[in-house]
Chains A and B, each alone.
Chain A
Amino acid sequence: MTAGLWELVLKGVWITVQLLVLSALLAAAVSFAVGIARTHRLWIVRFLAGFYTEVFRGTSALIMIFWVFFVLPPAFGWQLVPLWAGTLALGLTYGAYGSEIVRGALDAVAPAQREAGIALNFTPWQRMRLILLPQAVPEMVPPFSNLLIELLKGTALVSIMGMGDLAFSGNLVRLALQESAEIYTYILLIYFVIAFLLTRVMRGLERKLQAGLGRAPVRRRSRLEVSRTETAATAGAGAPGGAR
Protein backbone atom coordinates (compact mmCIF):
# COMPACT_ATOMS: atom_id res chain seq x y z
CA MET A 1 0.00 0.00 0.00
CA THR A 2 1.26 3.47 -0.86
CA ALA A 3 1.46 6.47 1.45
CA GLY A 4 -1.44 8.15 -0.37
CA LEU A 5 -3.71 5.23 0.32
CA TRP A 6 -2.71 5.19 3.99
CA GLU A 7 -3.62 8.85 4.14
CA LEU A 8 -7.07 7.90 2.87
CA VAL A 9 -7.39 5.31 5.62
CA LEU A 10 -6.28 7.82 8.26
CA LYS A 11 -8.92 10.27 7.07
CA GLY A 12 -11.41 7.44 7.43
CA VAL A 13 -10.26 6.83 11.00
CA TRP A 14 -10.75 10.52 11.77
CA ILE A 15 -14.31 10.53 10.40
CA THR A 16 -15.13 7.35 12.31
CA VAL A 17 -13.79 8.82 15.55
CA GLN A 18 -15.70 12.08 15.04
CA LEU A 19 -18.89 10.20 14.32
CA LEU A 20 -18.32 7.93 17.30
CA VAL A 21 -17.81 10.81 19.73
CA LEU A 22 -20.75 12.86 18.48
CA SER A 23 -23.21 9.99 18.34
CA ALA A 24 -22.03 8.71 21.73
CA LEU A 25 -22.77 12.13 23.23
CA LEU A 26 -26.21 12.26 21.63
CA ALA A 27 -26.91 8.66 22.64
CA ALA A 28 -25.88 9.40 26.25
CA ALA A 29 -28.17 12.45 26.38
CA VAL A 30 -31.07 10.45 24.93
CA SER A 31 -30.40 7.50 27.26
CA PHE A 32 -30.58 9.62 30.39
CA ALA A 33 -33.53 11.71 29.23
CA VAL A 34 -35.61 8.71 28.15
CA GLY A 35 -34.38 6.40 30.90
CA ILE A 36 -35.30 8.92 33.61
CA ALA A 37 -38.60 9.65 31.91
CA ARG A 38 -39.44 5.96 32.21
CA THR A 39 -39.42 6.28 35.99
CA HIS A 40 -41.65 9.39 35.93
CA ARG A 41 -44.74 9.38 38.09
CA LEU A 42 -47.13 10.38 35.24
CA TRP A 43 -48.16 7.36 33.16
CA ILE A 44 -48.26 9.34 29.92
CA VAL A 45 -44.60 10.31 30.25
CA ARG A 46 -43.65 6.71 31.00
CA PHE A 47 -45.75 5.51 28.08
CA LEU A 48 -44.21 7.96 25.58
CA ALA A 49 -40.69 7.12 26.72
CA GLY A 50 -41.43 3.40 26.46
CA PHE A 51 -42.93 3.90 23.03
CA TYR A 52 -39.83 5.73 21.87
CA THR A 53 -37.62 2.94 23.19
CA GLU A 54 -39.58 0.16 21.55
CA VAL A 55 -39.80 1.92 18.18
CA PHE A 56 -36.15 2.83 17.93
CA ARG A 57 -34.97 -0.46 19.36
CA GLY A 58 -37.35 -2.36 17.12
CA THR A 59 -36.04 -1.09 13.81
CA SER A 60 -32.60 -1.63 12.46
CA ALA A 61 -29.97 1.10 12.77
CA LEU A 62 -29.34 0.88 9.03
CA ILE A 63 -33.00 1.52 8.23
CA MET A 64 -32.89 4.51 10.57
CA ILE A 65 -29.87 5.82 8.65
CA PHE A 66 -31.66 5.38 5.33
CA TRP A 67 -34.68 7.13 6.78
CA VAL A 68 -32.70 10.13 7.99
CA PHE A 69 -30.85 10.41 4.69
CA PHE A 70 -33.75 9.89 2.29
CA VAL A 71 -37.08 10.49 4.01
CA LEU A 72 -36.30 13.39 6.33
CA PRO A 73 -35.17 15.84 3.61
CA PRO A 74 -38.33 15.74 1.43
CA ALA A 75 -40.68 15.31 4.40
CA PHE A 76 -39.47 18.20 6.54
CA GLY A 77 -37.32 20.14 4.13
CA TRP A 78 -34.17 19.45 6.13
CA GLN A 79 -31.05 18.43 4.35
CA LEU A 80 -28.55 17.46 7.00
CA VAL A 81 -24.81 17.38 6.50
CA PRO A 82 -23.90 13.64 6.27
CA LEU A 83 -21.97 13.74 9.54
CA TRP A 84 -24.97 15.15 11.41
CA ALA A 85 -27.39 12.82 9.68
CA GLY A 86 -25.28 9.85 10.74
CA THR A 87 -24.98 11.23 14.26
CA LEU A 88 -28.73 11.72 14.50
CA ALA A 89 -29.61 8.22 13.28
CA LEU A 90 -27.01 6.43 15.40
CA GLY A 91 -27.55 8.59 18.49
CA LEU A 92 -31.31 8.07 18.49
CA THR A 93 -31.07 4.32 17.89
CA TYR A 94 -28.35 3.56 20.41
CA GLY A 95 -29.89 6.05 22.84
CA ALA A 96 -32.95 3.80 22.89
CA TYR A 97 -30.76 0.86 23.91
CA GLY A 98 -29.01 3.06 26.46
CA SER A 99 -32.27 4.19 28.03
CA GLU A 100 -32.92 0.58 29.05
CA ILE A 101 -29.55 0.54 30.80
CA VAL A 102 -30.38 3.75 32.67
CA ARG A 103 -33.81 2.48 33.66
CA GLY A 104 -32.40 -0.85 34.80
CA ALA A 105 -29.73 0.82 36.93
CA LEU A 106 -32.24 3.22 38.50
CA ASP A 107 -34.55 0.30 39.31
CA ALA A 108 -31.65 -1.51 40.91
CA VAL A 109 -31.04 1.19 43.54
CA ALA A 110 -32.39 -0.07 46.87
CA PRO A 111 -35.98 1.18 47.39
CA ALA A 112 -35.09 2.33 50.91
CA GLN A 113 -32.85 5.00 49.38
CA ARG A 114 -35.79 6.54 47.57
CA GLU A 115 -37.97 6.29 50.63
CA ALA A 116 -35.29 7.98 52.70
CA GLY A 117 -35.32 10.82 50.15
CA ILE A 118 -39.09 11.15 50.53
CA ALA A 119 -38.78 11.09 54.32
CA LEU A 120 -36.25 13.92 54.13
CA ASN A 121 -38.72 15.93 52.06
CA PHE A 122 -36.52 16.03 48.95
CA THR A 123 -38.20 17.07 45.72
CA PRO A 124 -38.30 14.35 43.00
CA TRP A 125 -35.56 16.16 41.13
CA GLN A 126 -33.35 16.37 44.25
CA ARG A 127 -33.92 12.67 44.89
CA MET A 128 -32.85 11.86 41.35
CA ARG A 129 -29.82 14.15 41.38
CA LEU A 130 -28.54 13.61 44.91
CA ILE A 131 -29.58 10.06 45.77
CA LEU A 132 -30.49 7.85 42.82
CA LEU A 133 -28.11 8.93 40.06
CA PRO A 134 -24.89 8.93 42.12
CA GLN A 135 -25.57 5.32 43.06
CA ALA A 136 -26.92 4.19 39.70
CA VAL A 137 -24.30 5.72 37.40
CA PRO A 138 -21.37 3.47 38.41
CA GLU A 139 -23.59 0.44 37.75
CA MET A 140 -24.28 1.70 34.24
CA VAL A 141 -20.67 1.90 33.15
CA PRO A 142 -20.05 -1.77 32.21
CA PRO A 143 -23.19 -2.11 30.06
CA PHE A 144 -22.54 1.33 28.56
CA SER A 145 -19.05 0.15 27.71
CA ASN A 146 -20.55 -2.73 25.71
CA LEU A 147 -23.00 -0.39 24.06
CA LEU A 148 -20.14 1.90 23.08
CA ILE A 149 -18.46 -0.99 21.26
CA GLU A 150 -21.75 -1.74 19.51
CA LEU A 151 -21.94 1.93 18.54
CA LEU A 152 -18.42 1.80 17.15
CA LYS A 153 -19.46 -1.18 15.05
CA GLY A 154 -22.60 0.72 14.08
CA THR A 155 -20.64 3.69 12.73
CA ALA A 156 -19.46 1.47 9.86
CA LEU A 157 -23.04 1.56 8.55
CA VAL A 158 -22.74 5.15 7.34
CA SER A 159 -20.24 3.97 4.71
CA ILE A 160 -23.24 2.54 2.85
CA MET A 161 -24.47 6.12 2.46
CA GLY A 162 -21.13 7.10 0.96
CA MET A 163 -19.70 8.83 4.02
CA GLY A 164 -15.91 8.55 3.98
CA ASP A 165 -15.44 6.67 7.24
CA LEU A 166 -13.01 3.83 7.90
CA ALA A 167 -15.09 1.11 6.24
CA PHE A 168 -15.62 3.34 3.20
CA SER A 169 -11.91 4.07 2.87
CA GLY A 170 -11.43 0.29 2.79
CA ASN A 171 -13.72 0.09 -0.22
CA LEU A 172 -11.83 2.90 -1.96
CA VAL A 173 -8.49 1.19 -1.41
CA ARG A 174 -9.94 -2.08 -2.67
CA LEU A 175 -11.04 -0.36 -5.88
CA ALA A 176 -7.66 1.33 -6.25
CA LEU A 177 -5.57 -1.81 -5.72
CA GLN A 178 -7.98 -4.42 -7.10
CA GLU A 179 -6.97 -6.49 -4.12
CA SER A 180 -8.97 -6.85 -0.93
CA ALA A 181 -7.46 -9.31 1.55
CA GLU A 182 -4.76 -6.97 2.83
CA ILE A 183 -6.78 -3.79 3.20
CA TYR A 184 -9.77 -5.42 4.87
CA THR A 185 -7.46 -7.15 7.32
CA TYR A 186 -5.97 -3.75 8.21
CA ILE A 187 -9.41 -2.17 8.52
CA LEU A 188 -10.63 -4.93 10.85
CA LEU A 189 -7.46 -4.58 12.94
CA ILE A 190 -7.92 -0.81 13.25
CA TYR A 191 -11.51 -1.28 14.43
CA PHE A 192 -10.33 -3.86 16.92
CA VAL A 193 -7.66 -1.51 18.29
CA ILE A 194 -10.20 1.31 18.70
CA ALA A 195 -12.57 -1.07 20.48
CA PHE A 196 -9.76 -2.25 22.75
CA LEU A 197 -8.83 1.32 23.69
CA LEU A 198 -12.47 2.13 24.41
CA THR A 199 -12.86 -0.82 26.78
CA ARG A 200 -9.67 0.25 28.59
CA VAL A 201 -10.94 3.81 29.04
CA MET A 202 -14.34 2.62 30.24
CA ARG A 203 -12.78 0.24 32.72
CA GLY A 204 -10.67 3.06 34.15
CA LEU A 205 -13.81 5.18 34.43
CA GLU A 206 -15.64 2.40 36.22
CA ARG A 207 -12.84 1.99 38.72
CA LYS A 208 -12.86 5.70 39.42
CA LEU A 209 -16.63 5.88 39.92
CA GLN A 210 -16.76 2.79 42.11
CA ALA A 211 -13.97 4.23 44.24
CA GLY A 212 -16.02 7.42 44.57
CA LEU A 213 -18.75 5.33 46.18
CA GLY A 214 -16.25 3.71 48.50
CA ARG A 215 -16.57 0.35 46.79
CA ALA A 216 -13.78 -1.83 45.51
CA PRO A 217 -13.96 -2.37 41.75
CA VAL A 218 -15.82 -5.54 40.89
CA ARG A 219 -13.63 -8.04 39.09
CA ARG A 220 -15.15 -8.60 35.72
CA ARG A 221 -13.96 -10.60 32.83
CA SER A 222 -14.38 -7.58 30.52
CA ARG A 223 -16.99 -7.87 27.79
CA LEU A 224 -17.24 -11.58 28.25
CA GLU A 225 -19.55 -11.15 31.22
CA VAL A 226 -22.35 -9.02 29.90
CA SER A 227 -23.45 -8.82 26.33
CA ARG A 228 -25.66 -6.68 24.20
CA THR A 229 -29.13 -8.11 24.40
CA GLU A 230 -28.71 -9.13 27.99
CA THR A 231 -28.10 -5.56 29.00
CA ALA A 232 -30.21 -3.85 26.39
CA ALA A 233 -33.21 -6.07 25.82
CA THR A 234 -33.91 -7.25 29.32
CA ALA A 235 -32.19 -4.82 31.64
CA GLY A 236 -34.06 -4.81 34.89
CA ALA A 237 -35.85 -8.05 34.07
CA GLY A 238 -32.87 -10.06 35.29
CA ALA A 239 -30.24 -11.39 32.96
CA PRO A 240 -31.47 -14.27 30.83
CA GLY A 241 -29.79 -17.59 31.13
CA GLY A 242 -28.55 -16.81 34.60
CA ALA A 243 -25.77 -14.99 32.82
CA ARG A 244 -24.44 -13.09 35.79
Chain B
Amino acid sequence: MTWDWGAVADFMPHFRDGLLVTLQALVLGSLISFVLGLVWALLMRAPSRWVRWPVGAATEFVRNTPLLVQLFFLFYVLPEWDITFSALTTGVVAIGLHYSTYTMQVYRAGIEAVPVGQWEAATALNLPLRRTWTAVILPQAIRRVVPALGNYVISMLKDTPLLMAITVLDMLGEARLFSQQNFQFTEPLTVIGVAFVLISYPASLLMRALERRLVR
Protein backbone atom coordinates (compact mmCIF):
# COMPACT_ATOMS: atom_id res chain seq x y z
CA MET B 1 0.00 0.00 0.00
CA THR B 2 1.50 3.30 -1.03
CA TRP B 3 0.45 6.56 0.50
CA ASP B 4 1.41 9.82 -1.16
CA TRP B 5 1.15 12.92 1.05
CA GLY B 6 1.80 15.04 -2.05
CA ALA B 7 -1.49 13.87 -3.51
CA VAL B 8 -3.24 14.79 -0.28
CA ALA B 9 -1.78 18.28 -0.47
CA ASP B 10 -2.78 18.62 -4.13
CA PHE B 11 -6.29 17.48 -3.31
CA MET B 12 -6.83 19.97 -0.48
CA PRO B 13 -8.08 22.95 -2.58
CA HIS B 14 -10.58 20.64 -4.31
CA PHE B 15 -11.53 19.19 -0.95
CA ARG B 16 -12.37 22.67 0.33
CA ASP B 17 -14.59 23.40 -2.70
CA GLY B 18 -16.33 20.07 -2.27
CA LEU B 19 -16.83 20.59 1.45
CA LEU B 20 -18.49 23.94 0.79
CA VAL B 21 -20.88 22.40 -1.73
CA THR B 22 -21.65 19.52 0.65
CA LEU B 23 -22.38 21.88 3.54
CA GLN B 24 -24.48 24.11 1.31
CA ALA B 25 -26.57 21.15 0.16
CA LEU B 26 -26.82 19.94 3.76
CA VAL B 27 -28.03 23.27 5.19
CA LEU B 28 -30.57 23.95 2.43
CA GLY B 29 -31.76 20.34 2.38
CA SER B 30 -32.22 20.38 6.15
CA LEU B 31 -34.26 23.58 6.00
CA ILE B 32 -36.53 22.14 3.32
CA SER B 33 -36.98 18.92 5.24
CA PHE B 34 -37.74 20.72 8.52
CA VAL B 35 -40.41 22.90 6.91
CA LEU B 36 -41.99 20.25 4.66
CA GLY B 37 -41.91 17.65 7.43
CA LEU B 38 -43.91 19.97 9.68
CA VAL B 39 -46.36 20.61 6.85
CA TRP B 40 -46.87 16.86 6.30
CA ALA B 41 -47.22 16.25 10.04
CA LEU B 42 -49.89 18.94 10.33
CA LEU B 43 -51.71 17.71 7.21
CA MET B 44 -51.77 14.21 8.73
CA ARG B 45 -53.82 15.68 11.57
CA ALA B 46 -56.38 17.17 9.21
CA PRO B 47 -59.96 16.16 9.99
CA SER B 48 -60.67 14.92 6.46
CA ARG B 49 -59.40 11.53 5.36
CA TRP B 50 -59.22 12.92 1.81
CA VAL B 51 -56.25 14.93 3.00
CA ARG B 52 -54.70 12.37 5.33
CA TRP B 53 -54.81 9.42 3.00
CA PRO B 54 -53.00 10.95 -0.04
CA VAL B 55 -50.38 12.61 2.16
CA GLY B 56 -49.80 9.37 4.06
CA ALA B 57 -49.54 7.29 0.89
CA ALA B 58 -47.26 9.74 -0.90
CA THR B 59 -44.86 10.09 2.03
CA GLU B 60 -44.80 6.33 2.58
CA PHE B 61 -43.90 5.90 -1.09
CA VAL B 62 -41.10 8.45 -0.97
CA ARG B 63 -39.72 6.96 2.25
CA ASN B 64 -39.60 3.43 0.87
CA THR B 65 -37.89 4.14 -2.44
CA PRO B 66 -34.21 4.93 -2.99
CA LEU B 67 -33.10 8.54 -2.86
CA LEU B 68 -30.80 7.85 -5.80
CA VAL B 69 -33.67 6.94 -8.13
CA GLN B 70 -35.63 9.95 -6.88
CA LEU B 71 -32.64 12.12 -7.77
CA PHE B 72 -32.56 10.63 -11.26
CA PHE B 73 -36.29 11.15 -11.55
CA LEU B 74 -36.10 14.85 -10.71
CA PHE B 75 -32.92 15.37 -12.69
CA TYR B 76 -34.09 13.76 -15.93
CA VAL B 77 -37.88 14.05 -15.83
CA LEU B 78 -38.37 17.67 -14.78
CA PRO B 79 -36.52 19.03 -17.85
CA GLU B 80 -38.91 16.98 -20.02
CA TRP B 81 -41.71 18.99 -18.45
CA ASP B 82 -39.77 22.20 -19.18
CA ILE B 83 -38.82 22.79 -15.57
CA THR B 84 -35.08 23.27 -15.32
CA PHE B 85 -33.01 23.80 -12.22
CA SER B 86 -29.30 23.59 -11.64
CA ALA B 87 -28.06 20.17 -10.59
CA LEU B 88 -27.38 21.40 -7.06
CA THR B 89 -30.90 22.82 -6.69
CA THR B 90 -32.40 19.55 -7.92
CA GLY B 91 -30.28 17.63 -5.44
CA VAL B 92 -31.19 19.91 -2.55
CA VAL B 93 -34.89 19.60 -3.37
CA ALA B 94 -34.64 15.80 -3.64
CA ILE B 95 -32.81 15.42 -0.33
CA GLY B 96 -35.14 17.85 1.42
CA LEU B 97 -38.20 16.06 0.09
CA HIS B 98 -36.87 12.59 0.91
CA TYR B 99 -35.97 13.50 4.48
CA SER B 100 -39.17 15.46 5.05
CA THR B 101 -40.92 12.09 5.06
CA TYR B 102 -38.70 11.10 7.99
CA THR B 103 -38.92 14.40 9.88
CA MET B 104 -42.69 14.28 9.61
CA GLN B 105 -42.69 11.20 11.85
CA VAL B 106 -40.44 12.99 14.30
CA TYR B 107 -42.81 15.96 14.47
CA ARG B 108 -45.79 13.65 14.77
CA ALA B 109 -44.21 11.86 17.73
CA GLY B 110 -43.30 15.22 19.27
CA ILE B 111 -46.84 16.55 18.88
CA GLU B 112 -48.34 13.38 20.32
CA ALA B 113 -45.99 13.57 23.29
CA VAL B 114 -47.48 16.91 24.39
CA PRO B 115 -49.71 16.05 27.36
CA VAL B 116 -53.46 16.13 26.74
CA GLY B 117 -53.82 18.60 29.61
CA GLN B 118 -52.15 21.23 27.46
CA TRP B 119 -54.84 20.86 24.82
CA GLU B 120 -57.54 20.97 27.46
CA ALA B 121 -56.01 24.08 29.04
CA ALA B 122 -55.96 25.79 25.65
CA THR B 123 -59.61 24.91 25.17
CA ALA B 124 -60.46 26.13 28.67
CA LEU B 125 -58.73 29.45 27.97
CA ASN B 126 -60.77 29.71 24.78
CA LEU B 127 -57.64 30.09 22.64
CA PRO B 128 -58.31 30.06 18.91
CA LEU B 129 -56.90 27.06 17.03
CA ARG B 130 -54.03 29.02 15.54
CA ARG B 131 -52.92 30.35 18.93
CA THR B 132 -53.23 26.87 20.42
CA TRP B 133 -50.76 25.54 17.88
CA THR B 134 -48.30 28.44 17.75
CA ALA B 135 -48.26 29.36 21.44
CA VAL B 136 -48.93 26.09 23.24
CA ILE B 137 -48.40 22.90 21.27
CA LEU B 138 -45.59 23.56 18.80
CA PRO B 139 -43.18 25.25 21.24
CA GLN B 140 -43.36 22.18 23.48
CA ALA B 141 -43.32 19.69 20.63
CA ILE B 142 -40.37 21.21 18.79
CA ARG B 143 -38.22 21.38 21.91
CA ARG B 144 -38.57 17.63 22.25
CA VAL B 145 -37.78 16.82 18.64
CA VAL B 146 -34.59 18.89 18.21
CA PRO B 147 -32.20 15.97 18.92
CA ALA B 148 -34.10 13.61 16.61
CA LEU B 149 -34.06 16.21 13.85
CA GLY B 150 -30.35 16.62 14.42
CA ASN B 151 -29.86 12.90 13.93
CA TYR B 152 -31.57 13.19 10.58
CA VAL B 153 -29.27 16.05 9.63
CA ILE B 154 -26.38 13.65 10.26
CA SER B 155 -28.08 11.03 8.06
CA MET B 156 -28.57 13.67 5.41
CA LEU B 157 -24.89 14.55 5.55
CA LYS B 158 -24.11 10.92 4.77
CA ASP B 159 -26.50 10.97 1.82
CA THR B 160 -25.09 14.14 0.21
CA PRO B 161 -22.44 12.14 -1.74
CA LEU B 162 -25.32 10.81 -3.83
CA LEU B 163 -25.53 14.23 -5.46
CA MET B 164 -22.38 13.24 -7.31
CA ALA B 165 -24.56 10.97 -9.46
CA ILE B 166 -26.31 14.02 -10.93
CA THR B 167 -23.03 15.84 -11.70
CA VAL B 168 -22.85 17.98 -8.53
CA LEU B 169 -19.25 18.47 -7.45
CA ASP B 170 -19.61 17.77 -3.75
CA MET B 171 -16.81 16.18 -1.71
CA LEU B 172 -17.14 12.80 -3.40
CA GLY B 173 -17.61 14.41 -6.82
CA GLU B 174 -14.40 16.39 -6.37
CA ALA B 175 -12.59 13.29 -5.12
CA ARG B 176 -13.69 11.29 -8.14
CA LEU B 177 -12.71 14.04 -10.57
CA PHE B 178 -9.32 14.40 -8.90
CA SER B 179 -8.70 10.63 -8.94
CA GLN B 180 -9.58 10.29 -12.58
CA GLN B 181 -7.34 13.17 -13.59
CA ASN B 182 -4.36 12.02 -11.53
CA PHE B 183 -4.89 8.24 -11.31
CA GLN B 184 -4.63 8.42 -7.55
CA PHE B 185 -7.68 6.91 -5.95
CA THR B 186 -6.46 6.00 -2.48
CA GLU B 187 -5.66 9.43 -1.08
CA PRO B 188 -8.70 11.55 -2.04
CA LEU B 189 -11.21 8.81 -1.19
CA THR B 190 -9.58 8.16 2.17
CA VAL B 191 -9.39 11.87 2.95
CA ILE B 192 -13.10 12.40 2.41
CA GLY B 193 -13.95 9.20 4.26
CA VAL B 194 -12.02 10.46 7.28
CA ALA B 195 -13.60 13.88 6.87
CA PHE B 196 -17.06 12.36 7.08
CA VAL B 197 -16.21 10.52 10.29
CA LEU B 198 -14.63 13.66 11.74
CA ILE B 199 -17.79 15.66 11.04
CA SER B 200 -20.46 13.14 11.87
CA TYR B 201 -19.03 11.58 15.04
CA PRO B 202 -18.76 14.83 17.04
CA ALA B 203 -22.14 15.83 15.64
CA SER B 204 -23.70 12.63 16.94
CA LEU B 205 -22.08 13.19 20.36
CA LEU B 206 -23.56 16.69 20.33
CA MET B 207 -27.00 15.28 19.57
CA ARG B 208 -26.72 12.79 22.42
CA ALA B 209 -25.82 15.65 24.79
CA LEU B 210 -28.71 17.76 23.48
CA GLU B 211 -31.04 14.85 23.99
CA ARG B 212 -30.09 14.59 27.65
CA ARG B 213 -30.75 18.32 28.11
CA LEU B 214 -33.93 18.79 26.10
CA VAL B 215 -35.81 15.51 26.36
CA ARG B 216 -37.06 14.66 29.78
Contacts and interface: CB of A to CB of B under 8 A. Distances in A.
A54 B203 CA distance: 12
Contacts of B14: none
A233 B154 contact: yes
A66 interface: yes
Given A71-B186, A230-B148, A234-B211, A191 B158 contact: no
Interface in A138-157: 149, 152-157
B50 to A, nearest CB: 20
Interface stretch (B28-36, B70-78, B83-91, B117-125): B70-78
B159 interface: yes
B69 A196 contact: no
A242 B152 contact: no
B197 A58 contact: yes
A60 B151 contact: no
Leading 5 A-B pairs by shortest Cβ distance: A229-B151, A58-B197, A156-B66, A240-B148, A242-B113
Interface of B is mostly: helix
Interface stretch (B5-13, B101-109, B126-134): B101-109
Contacts of A74: 1, 185-186
Interface of B: 1, 60-61, 63-70, 72-73, 76-77, 80-81, 102, 105-106, 108-110, 113, 144-145, 147-148, 151-152, 154-155, 157-162, 164-165, 172, 175-176, 179, 185-186, 189-190, 192-193, 196-197, 200-201, 204, 207-208, 211, 215
Contacts of A154: 66
Interface in A160-184: 160, 167, 170-171, 174, 179-181, 184
Contacts of B211: 234, 237-238, 240
A210 interface: no
A191 B67 CA distance: 11
A55 B69 CA distance: 27
A186 B152 CA distance: 28
